Amino acid sequence: MNVQVKKVYRNYYLNIISALFKKLGLPQLIDHLVPVDPQCQTRVSDAVQAIIYNMFDGRQALVHVERWAQEIDLEKLIRPGLHPSWLNDDALARHLDRLYEAGIHNVISTCLIHIYRKEGLSLRAFHADTTDKTVYGAYESVSSEALRITHGYNRHHRWQKQIGFGLIGNEDGIPFYGDVHDGNLPDKTWNPEVLSHVHEQLKQAKMEDEWIYVADSAAMTKDTLAQTKAANAFLITRGPSSLRIVKRALAEADSPHIPWSDPFTLAERNGATYRVWETSSTYEGHPVRLIVVESSALDQRKGKTLEKERTKEAELLREEQAHWERHPFSCREDAEQALASLKTSLRPRFHQVKAAVEEIVRPKKRRGRPKKGAEPEMETRYLLRLDVEFDQNAWEQARRKASRFVLVTTVPEEWKGQQMDAQEILKLYKGQISVEMNFAFLKDPFFTDEIYVKKPERVAVLGYLFLLALAIYRVFQRRVRQFITPEHPLKGPGGRKLTRPTGQAIFQLFQYVNVVLLELPDGRIQRSLDRSLTPEQRRILQGLGLDESIYV
């Protein structure tokens, strides 16, 4: 029997992403939203899948896609009959333009709503934040409504050409709303605007129940509070330290009679411990709850600032000591007057300073060599002596104060039959890490490297496809984590036990899965794995409701 090896495909985890994409029904939905001329060889969903799988393969989006398509099992990943040459640069560019003309924001929003329905995801609380992404091209557009790619300061205060990403997702980090916006749009403007958009999106999905909007301190504005109420939502945000009601709450928290809660933790192990105390106030006519939080884990930046302040203070006190030891006084009155002035001016935070006038009697200095046998003439001088000692109690108190912050919320104390106490509000706020991890995906060069397109409209479309890829990645990660538990961990690369594996850690397990394309004597084509799947690989596929058929 003469069987020939026609091709070997290194498909590894792309088949899983492809199977998930199809199980969610996204190809049909995209083609429904953006219909293409029947005479065209490719569909919009073909281009979208090719670009997204290209990202997951660690490639620069839209760079040599046609050549890359020849190296993958295209008919298995996307659809039978699809030829790599059909995914050339011109075809992909036309599909990007069609997506833009169809309203790329609405297309992706509809896809995200569809994912939430399919997965039965919670709409109880959403976490919101923005980030920026650097771009380098010279982009030109004839449309005044196109994405404005402008220079601005990024999160690290560097001047760069950039676009902005806005994200709102649930506690698992799965985006419910996303946008690609102008590169210099401030968060204080974005927050109230996006609240109205999310409200419309919820109405479109016929999900008009109350919900919670969690955001960082830029959301603490009059407009955001008003728009939160109009969107049938409640707000949880961090109060800026410059705000009067925040200053008042922090000052009151120093009082000895404040009934702080018992220490508690939110993490499973090795996590910070917290104490909370709650008060209330009003801001711009809106009643708010203020929750003062004290954490055992001092913020890294605040810790560095305190350490610098302590070091600088110690240096200044040493210089002060040396100065007064070099400059004695001739009369006690002058020394006493200088001492009083010194005590008024010296107000150290982290040191205790005891200053006193010390009388010394010493030989009087004369010019020339003294006469032989002559008794030295004595003089009395008055020195200011400074005894400096590090104040451990003051240092610990300063660190404790620096580890405090205030959460501002409009969530009622009881909501949907659940007690929303200070601890529960803090737990919801700490979920902000989910959206911050999404930004790590959007900026990871493996998934989303430099953007090589010519028009801002195509930059916008590509940005939205990044968001759709992120949603698929998060859904994949969530599904796997549902059946990986501390009792039944996953054996990862190097034999590590994984209880909450990331998508990338799971991808690594499928790194060496290859598909061999065999040509049988009768001309039929048959696919076969080059080796048997490992128990861990089979466990993941079974947990996702898949099997070897996604490869063969």
* 96 class by beta-carbon count within 10 Å (0-12 exposed, 13-18 middle, 19+ buried): buried
Distance CA 406, CA 237 (A): 9
CATH class of 122-236+416-449: alpha beta
Express each pLDDT in 362-393 by its tens digit.
Answer: 777 777 777 777 677 788 889 888 888 888 88
How many angstroms separate the Cα of 121 from the Cα of each of 320, 333, 386?
A: 64, 79, 66
Element of type H or E holding 93: helix 89-101
How many angstroms separate the Cα of 355 from the Cα of each of 103, 321, 339?
A: 74, 10, 7
Q: What is the pLDDT of residue 460?
A: 84
Measure CA of the first residue to CA of the last residue in the chain; give whole Å: 21
Q: Average pLDDT, stretch 528-551?
A: 89
- ∠ at Cα 342 (337, 348), nearest 5°? 160
In b/e form, how buried is each residue of 270-290, taking b as 16+ CB within 10 angstroms? eeeebbbbbbebebeeeebbb
pLDDT at 142 over 50: no
Q: Is 5 strand, coil or helix? A: strand
pLDDT at 101 over 80: yes
**Tokens matching residue 168:** 């709102």
Q: Is 372 strand, coil or helix? A: coil
Backbone angles phi, psi at 73, to 5 degrees: -80, 75
For the entire predicted model, the pTM comes to 0.80
Q: Average pLDDT, stretch 9-19?
A: 87
Distance CA 60, CA 67 (A): 13
List helix spans (H) across 451-502: 456-483
- ∠ at Cα 463 (214, 47), nearest 5°? 130
Distance CA 496, CA 525 (A): 39
Q: Is 363 strand, coil or helix? A: strand
List helix spans (H) across 327-391: 332-345
pLDDT confidence bin for 24, thresholds 50/70/90 = very high
* 421 class by beta-carbon count within 10 Å (0-12 exposed, 13-18 middle, 19+ buried): middle
pLDDT at 426 over 50: yes
pLDDT at 523 over 70: yes
pLDDT confidence bin for 513, thresholds 50/70/90 = confident
**How high does pLDDT run on average in the chain?**
84
Q: Average pLDDT, stretch 290-309?
A: 81
Q: What is the pLDDT of residue 14?
A: 92
pLDDT at 417 over 50: yes
pLDDT at 39 over 90: no
* Lowest-confidence region among 15-19, 146-150, 360-364: 146-150
Q: Which candidate, 364, 368, 388, places its Cα nearest to that of 376?
A: 364
Q: What percent of the chain has pLDDT over 90?
A: 29
Helix 14-23 and helix 26-33: axis angle, to 10°?
A: 60
Distance CA 100, CA 157 (A): 31
pLDDT at 498 over 60: yes
pLDDT confidence bin for 420, thresholds 50/70/90 = very high
pLDDT at 29 over 90: yes
Instruction: Give ranges for CATH 3.30.420 in the chain.
Output: 122-236+416-449
- Residue 292 near residue 239 (C-beta atoms within 8 A): no
The more confident residue out of 6 and 514 is: 514
pLDDT confidence bin for 132, thresholds 50/70/90 = confident
* 71 class by beta-carbon count within 10 Å (0-12 exposed, 13-18 middle, 19+ buried): middle
Scanning the structure block, which residue is given the tokens 């609405």? Answer: 106
Q: What is the pLDDT of residue 55?
A: 86
* 548 class by beta-carbon count within 10 Å (0-12 exposed, 13-18 middle, 19+ buried): middle
Maximum distance among all Cα pairs of the chain, rounded to whole angstroms: 127
Q: Which candidate, 506, 499, 505, places its Cα nearest to that of 484?
A: 499
Specify the pairing of strand 418-419 against strand 414-415. Answer: antiparallel
The more confident residue out of 220 and 65 is: 220
